[in-house]
Structure 1
Amino acid sequence: MKEYSPYHIIHVYLDQQLTQPQLATQQGNYLVFWWQDVALGQLFIEPATEINYSEELLKAIAPAINYYTQLQEKEATNWYHWIINHQFEEWSSWMRELLLPYSHAVLPEIVPVTAIVCSRNRPIQLQNCLNMLSQLRCKPSEIIVVDNASDDENSIVNTVNQFLEAKYVREPRIGLDIARNTGIQKASFPIVAFVDDDVQAHSLWIYYVWETLQNPAVAAMTGLVITSELATRAQYLFEKYWSFNRGYVDKVYDRIFFSATLTQGPPVWRIGAGANMAFRKDIFNEVGYFNEMLDVGAAGCNGDSEMWYRILAHGQTITYNPRAIVFHEHRKELAGLKKQIFYYMRGHTAAALTQQKQHQQAGYKRYLLKLFLKAYTRSIVKGFPDYQAKYSTLWAQISGAASGLAYYFRNKGKLNNAISK
């Protein structure tokens, strides 16, 4: 196996430069493009690869620029010529006007949001997370840390006690969705936002969570997750093939999306990541709480996407807002990645069959059949004999999905009855 060289992550601010940044020459580069606080796109540059920077920049940011242009009903311009010719003044003037609605010179100091952090046995990550939340430019009214049966309770308590704005809640039953439900029940404010203890949030994260859910038609939202590190092969593989990043353009998931995809099995896992999601608290009275037989401590994953499925099945709307941003640190070791993927597919399969039971017209059985008989068979053939790159987790995927089938049929009564109000 070829030795892995860490990727250099560069955040390029296009409100400051159009010229190519200084790139690492002996390793890969991962560029994230911004205009002030708005992320516009990304670019992987493989090691020892020559590129036409302006052309690659154009391709990376075009979807976002075109989206904001249409949203603001701006006339089409030759903005791409400004980039190619490095006409910074023309570009800068036009972009300032285009993204003026997102400049936010004045922000509310606090908004009525409860931020929930579920943590288990990770006091260092939790401290970093709470330190980050305490320094946001717009802060939540309440922070609840749900200690999900940590072995050393005192270390979590002592960490939380360092932050006056944080409230400690002990949940003695192991399970991420159990912890999430406990946090919801303890929340005092009408919006609940979930963030993992291993992420760092952008300073405007809570503001955009709150702003998104000011629309009474929106029941839930997810946001952009950007990788914070590509130091190891496992982190690179995850970001390249399993990324939490859902792009740089707003998306709407509603009854139209649900109806259009029902017979294929709505791909609710595309909506976002549980590391960055928020809900109106009252939606749980309508659709029920998180299914406690899914996610970490049970099936392994997909409690979030199963919840999104139920919200859509009730005719409600979920949006993806790429301006609500967090930075996630992926697992460093390949063994840890394979274990993660195993439980992703275990939970994914169990959740799909649970969703099928809720809505008999849903095409999840057909979807799973194609996954096993077509997708995995094709991957086995294409990956042979070395199973490198995206095929390196193939056996974890297949065994995880098979384990998910067994888990579902062994626990289908509990899975289908684990949703309570």
Structure 2
Amino acid sequence: MPQSVDVTVVVPAYNAAATLPATLAGLAAQRFAGRVEVIVVDDGSTDATAAVAEAAGATVLRQKNQGPATARNAGATAGRGELLVFTDADCEPHPDFLAALTRPLADPGVSGVQGAYRTRQPQLVARFAQAEFEDRYAFTARFPCLDLVATYAAAFRRELFLQEGGFDTSYPVANNEDTEFSYRLCRLGHRLVFAPKALVFHRHPATLGKYLRIKFWRAYWRLAACRDHPEKVLRDGYTPGVVRLQTALAGLLALGLIFWPVTALGGVLALAGGVAVLCSALPFAAFAGKRDRGLAVAAPGLVLARSLAFAGGAAWAVLERLAGRACTLLRSRRGQS
């Protein structure tokens, strides 16, 4: 008869043979009194991901490449634990990760728990990304109930997770499917909380190009998550209002640059938008500089670049949706003619 399990840890993995060993070693070294099963869902990898997981003693599920939302749902369905924990194949859990992450679920009024990122990387962009997370955590701590539990360090009651349908599998990449699920839980009145000591060490993007690509698609998929939750477009418990303001100002900057060749007003708009973003970034630069002096100087420029990436991703999502509606309208009119 199978041994009962307290916690099921689900790790979706796609071509993760290089990073997965550290994840599984971290899970094996947990200072946790309960019984744990680790399920790695191989999402159609073409490398040795499955073999690495099996060698480490994890249960391995294989599926064709369908994205992390489908992979996590498959692991949750196959799991036997009362509690469900998610982390990623490029995360290394701290030895107290499981204990700290699941402790708040001892309160029956808590439905989900969010952990925290740390990094050991020396690169400027990676340090900036970590400072961003630290800033978001400080903002999140003001709220008694979260509206985002991100899957790099997440815990839910497994019965609730399955009852509410898990992650939306229409999200093909690891981007905001956890946001949409969290919004769903909040709408239903579930309480989600932050566990700042539930740590995983992560490899943030180390180059500016990779970082900006991630931010572009973050904005794109965040608007997708807001499609069914429009109340979150202007305000949520994860994104400080200044970040939304900076994104709007960066959009103004971009529009000004586009129209500058046509009218001098474009140059004025571009200058005003850029200066406003840089000025609005000064409080974050001071925040980051307390922890990392090198970031104090670089932060305003990086915030401006981030804001432009966010504005680009959001604009792409809006234009794509408008184009889709226009095509639907044209097809409808042709059908009536």
TM-score strictly above 0.5: yes
For 1:395 and 1:215, locate their aligned partners in 2 and report how far apart those are by CA, in whole Å. 42
2:117/2:199 contact within 8 Å kept: yes
1:237/1:390 contact within 8 Å kept: no
For 1:134 and 1:393, locate their aligned partners in 2 and report how far apart those are by CA, in whole Å. 37
Q: Give the direction of change, closer, same or farther, for the CA distance of 1:409–1:148 in structure 2 (3 Å limit).
A: farther
For 1:248 and 1:140, locate their aligned partners in 2 and report how far apart those are by CA, in whole Å. 34
For 2:323 and 2:28, locate their aligned partners in 1 and report how far apart those are by CA, in whole Å. 44
Higher helix share: 2
Q: Give the direction of change, closer, same or farther, for the CA distance of 1:301–1:410 in structure 2 (3 Å limit).
A: farther
- Alignment-mate amino acid for residue 137 of structure 2: R
Q: Give the direction of change, closer, same or farther, for the CA distance of 1:218–1:373 in structure 2 (3 Å limit).
A: same
The aligned counterpart of 1:235 is 126
Deviation at 1:123, TM superposition (A): 0.4
The aligned counterpart of 2:309 is 396
- Alignment-mate amino acid for residue 36 of structure 2: S
- Alignment-mate amino acid for residue 119 of structure 1: A
For 1:136 and 1:366, locate their aligned partners in 2 and report how far apart those are by CA, in whole Å. 37
Aligned residue pair count: 276
Deviations 1:59-110 (A, max 9, x none): xxxxxxxxxxxxxxxxxxxxxxxxxxxxxxxxxxxxxxxxxxxxxxxxxxx9
Higher strand share: 1
The aligned counterpart of 1:339 is 213
Q: Give the direction of change, closer, same or farther, for the CA distance of 1:244–1:277 in structure 2 (3 Å limit).
A: farther
Deviations 1:293-320 (A, max 9, x none): 23xx34x621112111111111111111
- Alignment-mate amino acid for residue 82 of structure 2: P
The aligned counterpart of 1:190 is 82
Q: 2:42 aligns with which of 128, 147, 158?
A: 147
Question: Does residue 283 in structure 1 map to residue 160 in structure 2?
Answer: yes
Deviation at 1:392, TM superposition (A): 2.2
Question: What is the SS of the residue equivalent to 2:224?
Answer: helix
2:77/2:162 contact within 8 Å kept: no
The sequence identity of aligned pairs, in percent, is 22
Question: What is the SS of the residue equivalent to 1:315?
Answer: coil
What TM-score do you get using the length of structure 1 for normalisation? 0.58
2:248/2:311 contact within 8 Å kept: no
Q: Which protein, 1 or 2, shows the higher relative CO under an 8 Å CA cutoff with sep ≥ 6?
A: 2
What TM-score do you get using the length of structure 2 for normalisation? 0.72
- Alignment-mate amino acid for residue 336 of structure 1: K
Question: Does residue 163 in structure 1 map to residue 163 in structure 2?
Answer: no
The aligned counterpart of 1:31 is none
Question: What is the SS of the residue equivalent to 1:392?
Answer: helix
Question: Does residue 112 in structure 1 map to residue 3 in structure 2?
Answer: no
For 1:272 and 1:136, locate their aligned partners in 2 and report how far apart those are by CA, in whole Å. 21
The aligned counterpart of 1:122 is 16
Q: Give the direction of change, closer, same or farther, for the CA distance of 1:366–1:282 in structure 2 (3 Å limit).
A: closer
Q: Give the direction of change, closer, same or farther, for the CA distance of 1:376–1:410 in structure 2 (3 Å limit).
A: closer
Which sections of structure 2, spanning at least 5 residues, go unmatched?
253-271, 279-297, 326-337
Q: Give the direction of change, closer, same or farther, for the CA distance of 1:245–1:204 in structure 2 (3 Å limit).
A: farther
